[in-house]
Chains A and B, each alone.
Chain A
């Protein structure tokens, strides 16, 4: 089985985010980038499948600050091949990324493409769908567990629905999956293995080609203005207790 994992780097929320002076984007001067958490789960799910059924895991990520480290870490975790897509620029739309992937993923050959269900930087979640559409193969999103039957060339995937329901689907391979969570938390990559990968591993580079196409312009990026506030009740405990009861009664929360 051939697994391709699509990864992308997003701003690290450990650093305070600042809006640039034009108010249209983040101030990227001190921005630190980390692997999108959902993509980390996609990689974990692919590694679990590889452990169960054999095969190869190839990780593909567009070029960004820190992408090498992310790809070496993927090698340390057990990926077989890592590829960075160059030349697509910093402000990369998902449509353009999917367009670039469409052009070269088929040459790699694959049974499953796994990608994070969405990325925290744009909450767009369309790379997987667009790619599946371009390649005319099935797509299932918001997946929380994958099993494959290599002989029958099918995958069984699960989705969690609201109200505590689980749905199970059978889908023909090849398929593109948007992973919400792997079956287990992403594994640890010991630093010695990461360093070994840095010494011995190889990052392949592929030049991304895709038309710019229609771009969505960000009109304004800003911090939300607070509308409602929490009310702090102060005073002696008895009085606070009386007021809590009054508030609950007033809102119809007492029977």
Chain B
């Protein structure tokens, strides 16, 4: 048995004179290679992954490499979807390898993969094994523990989930306090509830809803983290606990549809919660507001004379096919000139926050040259944007950090689309 290693060829056979079926084929074209050692690597890990529910498709990879130029992490480091198969084939234990935590589940590799090797299922399945074995990066462990205990990843008091309402300037109905049937249940989300910049977006949303006369309410302290990124980071049990709890809460109240602030909860509620008995009509806020544009446009009182570029959130765009609603809203705001970054829409770059990446910056910094959000901010600056518009609550904080880290402070502002709409409406408050 040849020993596994990196030397690929054990022996070359080349005959001085070779005659095959009467033809003289002497010369180096008769060169024969003996069995390559690659055939002798252990397939144990590969088989362990492909035997997981969700892990099957890793075995389908035929190494074409179409995923290489589109993987946002491959661009800044040694990680790559194609390499995962190859490394596992060479005997790397993915369950204990840093590569396990680097995929942001942005889905760009699956988009181009002719074999439909599905990292969006492979990674969570393999991560689940690691989590069950207690092998979790410490910063992610803290997030799991916080979310299990408090219902939000940052470990804030659940009682303070609706504190942002106090400074919204408009009345906001909190269902557990004043239950009543409403048209729209607005699921605010953890970052808009607690993160200082997220709260700005939440307040802007409340003002815009108020001005439009939307019949809506929020869940206050009864709302919990949606759990989608938790699931993708490998804690499926926690996701299920959150899903069951949120569905029970939703079912307590009477409403026609759920409007969400973020793409991750959109993905969870639309595509996963129905499997747990909670099927509701779900709209991302850009999808909810876009059809109301005629009404909105009459309310714009301020021009925003800026060049704006838009970052497609992976979980609104690639995962759920919505590219137009955010753009329609941006283009309707007076004064805004929308420019596109080269990587946009289906090929949009990832901010690095998906699939648990939001909570792994400290871990992944040792394996990448540059944060994904840093790279994206540079792309925004390159196309001459003054404002980087986003509509995912992970992104404002990520990109604002990156604006500072890349020395672009003063050159580029990061704004949620709802903040821009609110500003163009003159921040309508209760009179």
Contacts and interface: CB of A to CB of B under 8 A. Distances in A.
Interface of A: 14-16, 30, 34, 185, 187-188, 190-195
A95 to B, nearest CB: 31
Contact of B157 (A15, A193, A194, A195): A15
A188 B149 CA distance: 13
Interface string B150-165: 1000011101000000
A190 B149 contact: no
Contact of A188 (B136, B156, B159, B236): B136
A195 B236 CA distance: 12
Contacts of A188: 131, 134, 136, 141, 144-145
B157 to A, nearest CB: 5
B131 A190 contact: yes
Interface in B103-141: 131-132, 134, 136, 138, 141
17 contacts: A14-B156, A14-B157, A15-B157, A15-B159, A30-B159, A188-B144, A190-B134, A190-B235, A190-B237, A190-B238, A191-B144, A191-B238, A191-B241, A192-B236, A193-B132, A193-B237, A194-B237
A191 B155 contact: no
Contacts of B150: 14
Interface string B383-395: 0000000000000
Contacts of A16: 157
B148 interface: yes
Contact of B148 (A14, A15, A185, A191): A191
A36 B131 CA distance: 24
A17 B155 CA distance: 16
A128 B240 CA distance: 39
B235 A191 contact: yes
A14 B150 CA distance: 9
Among A34, A191, A192, residue most surrounded by chain B Cβ atoms (within 10 Å):
A191
Nearest to A73: B148
Given A15-B157, A190-B134, 10 more contacts: A14-B156, A15-B159, A188-B131, A188-B145, A191-B237, A191-B241, A192-B132, A193-B237, A194-B237, A195-B237
Say which size band chain B's interface belongs to: 20 to 34
Contacts of B148: 191
A194 B241 CA distance: 11
The 4 closest A-B pairs by CB, nearest first: A192-B237, A191-B237, A191-B238, A188-B141
B134 to A, nearest CB: 5
A85 B137 CA distance: 35
B241 A195 contact: yes
B287 to A, nearest CB: 32
Contacts of B145: 188
A12 B237 CA distance: 24
Interface string B44-88: 000000000000000000000000000000000000000000000
A195 to B, nearest CB: 6
Interface in B374-401: none
Contacts of B235: 190-191
Contacts of B237: 190-195
The residue among A14, A187, A188 with the most chain B CB atoms within 10 A of its own CB is A188
Contacts of B134: 187-188, 190
Contacts of A34: 149
Contacts of B136: 188
Contacts of B141: 188
Contact of B138 (A14, A185, A192): A185
A172 B309 CA distance: 70
A45 to B, nearest CB: 15
A119 to B, nearest CB: 18
Nearest to B138: A185
B255 to A, nearest CB: 28
A22 to B, nearest CB: 23
Nearest to B147: A191
Nearest to A196: B237
Contacts of B149: 34
A191 B131 CA distance: 10
A194 B240 CA distance: 13
Contacts of B238: 190-191
B93 to A, nearest CB: 19
A16 B145 CA distance: 20
B132 A190 contact: yes
Contacts of A193: 132, 237
Nearest to A34: B149
Nearest to A191: B237
A250 B150 CA distance: 48
A34 B150 CA distance: 11
